[in-house]
Structure 1
Amino acid sequence: MNVMANPLSMFDIKDNVALITGASGAFGMVAARILAGAGCKLVLVAGNQAALDDIADECHGMGAEVTTINTRPTDEDICNGLVAQTIEAYGKLDILVVASGMNKVALINDMTPETFNAVMDANVNQSWLLARAAAGQMKTQGHGKIVLVSSARGLLGHPAGYTAYCASKAATDGITKSLGCELGAHGITVNAIAPTVFRSPLTAWMFEDSEEATKVRNGFLARVPVGRLGEPEDLAGPLLFLASKASDFYTGHILYADGGYTAG
């Protein structure tokens, strides 16, 4: 097919197999909906069984084939097992989206080393283990798309107790760049989406009309050139791009879905 005659064909990921961890979380649910709508076969992974069932039912309703795995990617064996179960279910793995992770907010003298290490483990170690597991399969196939979830906080600090989160997302950016260099020769691209605040169950309060929400929102919007907070659909374009052939020449990049927040 002539790409220039039909440029939208570059974004066609119908029947691709996507493994999404953290599928019951804010970004993971959005990713599941986007890839289901694009015609992917999904393996959805989450520790919350009820929420996992809900998003799986929603994706089924969109016509997607869905396999669910109720677990968290906490160690090497589990991460390797998730890839193995994906291959058993669908015979291949085209797209990995690592949307699992966590944040614990506390000022440095109030944060325990155990809490710091827990955030680093969830956001850094588990991303590395999942990418490692997927890369082995993708090398065998000769192609693959790995999409990690970073944050604007990987680039910018925060005054209100984000030392663990900011450090973990900066490390995620480092993994993205390094693996982009390492795996490119195998036909595997590795990129990250770095959102700022977007509408989700966790941030719904920021969109309300209360005095507190308005104060926080206005303070944030003063730094956002497009003048609004993010909506779930703002993540669709970046994810479809990074999951499709359209991004075959792009690897090791951090794509900021932030309305210009990190530009100024």
Structure 2
Amino acid sequence: MSAIFSNPLSLFDVRGKTAIVTGASGAFGALAAEVLAGAGAKVVAVAGSERALADTVAACRRHCDDVVGLQARPDSEQACTGIVEHAVAAFGGVDILVVASGKNDVAKIVDMEPSRFLDVMDANVTQSWLMAREVGRRMLSQGRGGKIVLMSSARGKLGHPAGYSAYCASKAAIDGITRALGCEWGDSGITVNAIAPTVFRSPLTAWMFEDTDRAVEVRKGFLARVPKGRLGEPEDLAGPLLFLCSRASDFYTGHILHADGGYTAG
């Protein structure tokens, strides 16, 4: 215990760990890949978009040379197996998984075809489950534990009036998977947790940060529910991510960490 107190920052050390990040071309995935690379992890960045993936890999390599990109989506058992095999071939094993791939499809339920609902559930839930299963198998066989971080949302806990029936259901399911796997792998050294943000700055939400009449009006209504009084910034997710990927969180599993400025507290 005294060694930890003399160097508490060592709890957050991920240097030399191998991390797979899916959805690495999206806002959170790109952030996760760059944060882990900046902290010294070996990163396998996975995304379906070749151009965006190249941008993420380039950003990561500004911090760390041990970065590889893989154009793929975790949309089948075979694809997930291939992703893990790619990481093992590149760096010898897997210590961290961040599943940041997913989608939203906004429509009132009376106007949404079942296929659209199922597409959201597949992208957000099934693919997360498949990646967690495949990486979990590898981590169990390695026998040294590991860190799995899934992507939830404040919408896993709260509804939304604007046609989020598919998205809310998918994120509630992620919360359930997180808790279930946290229990299932509790004695294995594998922790399974989720980050659940509310609105944070990204290419998709950039309009909400502008000074247009529409943005100001939307922000005003939204911020009335946020005790911190502002929208989220990328760095608000960086700290929780590093915590959940490091041994600082060894006693945390099955936990949904709401990075939301207090939005879900009230």
* Identical pairs, percent: 66
Distance, in Å, in 1 between the alignment partners of 2:112 and 2:248 is 42
Kindly report which structure 2 residues correspond to 1:231-246, keeping only aligned pairs within 5 A, or say none: 231-246=233-248
Shift of 1:33: 1.4
Q: Distance in 2 between matches of 1:70 and 1:63?
A: 20
1:208 is aligned to: 210
Q: Which amino acid counterpart does residue 227 of structure 1 have in structure 2?
A: G
- Which residue number in structure 2 is paired with residue 79 of structure 1? 80
Amino acid at match of 2:129: W
Residue aligning to 2:182: 180
RMSD: 0.8
CA deviation after TM superposition for structure 1 residue 64, in Å = 3.7
Asked whether the 8 Å contact 1:10–1:245 carries over to 2, the reply is yes
- Is the Cα–Cα contact under 8 Å of residues 23 and 32 in structure 1 kept in the other structure? yes
Contact 2:72–2:83 (CA under 8 A) maintained in structure 1: no
1:1-264 matches, cutoff 5 A: 2-142=3-143, 143-264=145-266
Aligned length: 264
Q: Secondary structure at the match of 1:72?
A: coil
Q: Aligned with 2:258: secondary structure?
A: strand
Give the 4+ runs in structure 1 shifted more than 6 A. Answer: none
Distance 2:183 2:247 in 1: 18
Does the 8 Å CA contact 2:18/2:95 hold for their aligned counterparts? yes
Shift of 1:140: 1.5
Shift of 1:68: 0.8
Partner Cα separation in structure 2 for residue 124 and residue 105 of structure 1: 17
Instruction: Encode CA deviations 1:42-96: one digit per residue, 9 max, x unaligned.
Output: 0000011000001101111122411111111111110111111111110010100
Normalised by the length of structure 1, the TM-score is: 0.99
CA distance in 1: counterparts of 2:132 and 2:260, whole angstroms: 24
Q: Tell me, which stretches of 5 or more residues in structure 2 are unaligned?
A: none
The TM-score with structure 2 as length reference comes to: 0.98
Contact 1:40–1:64 (CA<8 Å) still a contact in 2?
Answer: no
